[in-house]
Amino acid sequence: KLKALSLSPGQTHLDALADDFRLAYDGGATDSGFDQRVRFYEAVFLTETGLKHLNTSWRGESEISPGYALLACARESLRLSFL
């Protein structure tokens, strides 16, 4: 959710908080797949949220909609989950 909110104007600082939260939540876990799973579920959430925003573009919100930015962020999260 913090990644999605960080795409709003004036909220870019939340992106760093999202990474800090993930590291704090991890708590030094030794599971090597943890980060991959986090990135995958993050991508699913961002895609769902982006598509919801794009679905509202019929109301004339397409110029201000963060839908495309959310989808781009999801694509990047998914790419990172398979590195």
What are the tens digits of pLDDT across the range 48-73? 988 888 877 656 665 677 888 888 98
Q: What percent of the chain has pLDDT over 90?
A: 8
Alpha-carbon span 43 to 79, nearest angstrom: 9
**Above 80 in pLDDT, residue 81?**
no
Alpha-carbon span 45 to 80, nearest angstrom: 15
Residue 83, amino acid: L
DSSP helix/strand/coil, 74: helix
The pTM assigned to this predicted structure is 0.72
> Is there a contact between 3 and 76 (Cβ–Cβ < 8 Å)?
no
